[in-house]
Amino acid sequence: MEEIIALKEHMVEEAGNIKTWFKAAAVEDFPENGGACVKYKDLQIAVFNFTRKKEWYACQNLCPHKMQMILSRGMIGTQGEEPKVACPYHKRTFSLKSGECLNAEEHKIATFPVKIEDGYVYIGFSK
């Protein structure tokens, strides 16, 4: 079986460089104020629906702490204005804007832009 790419390297996909918009699933498939995991090629992407704020975020599904494919099952929320996700395992929290770890010295995670069109959720990739 193909090894899944872990995305250990931090990257922030800026909306400007996007080459591919991947149509992930319908808006109503995602839980409200929560996340779900999207498969794109060999990547696992965590996508979060901030229903209250009417905002969407996406990041790698892999938690860099113990290398677990889990962030989509994490609880979301804010720290001040910063949208964040908390890993279910040991509650490391990550900013969904910068990918920065907010409460420990953990590696940054990769984040991706999300757009909604005609009731569908799209994730942007630069390659």
Nearer to ligand FES, 38 or 63 (CB): 63
Among 46, 87, 101, 123, binds ligand FES (CB under 6 A): 87
Concatenating the DSSP letter of every residue in 57-80 gives EEEESEETTTTEE-GGGSEEEEET
92 lies in the site for ligand FES, by CB under 6 A: yes
Residue among 45, 47, 62, 63 that touches ligand FES (CB under 6 A): 63
Q: What do you get for the CA distance between the two ends of the chain, in Å?
A: 23
In this structure, the dihedral spanned by the alpha carbons of residues 75, 109, 42 and 13, taken in order and rounded to 10 degrees, is: 110
Q: How far is the CB of 92 from ligand FES (least distance, A)?
A: 4
CB of 87 to other proteins, least distance (A): 9
> Given the rule CB under 8 A, which residues bind other proteins?
1-2, 4, 24-25, 29-39, 44, 47, 50, 52-53, 66-70, 73-80, 83-84, 86, 88-89, 91, 93, 105
Indicate the Cα dihedral angle 71, 31, 123, 23, nearest 10°: 130
3-class secondary structure, 22:
strand
CB of 11 to other proteins, least distance (A): 18
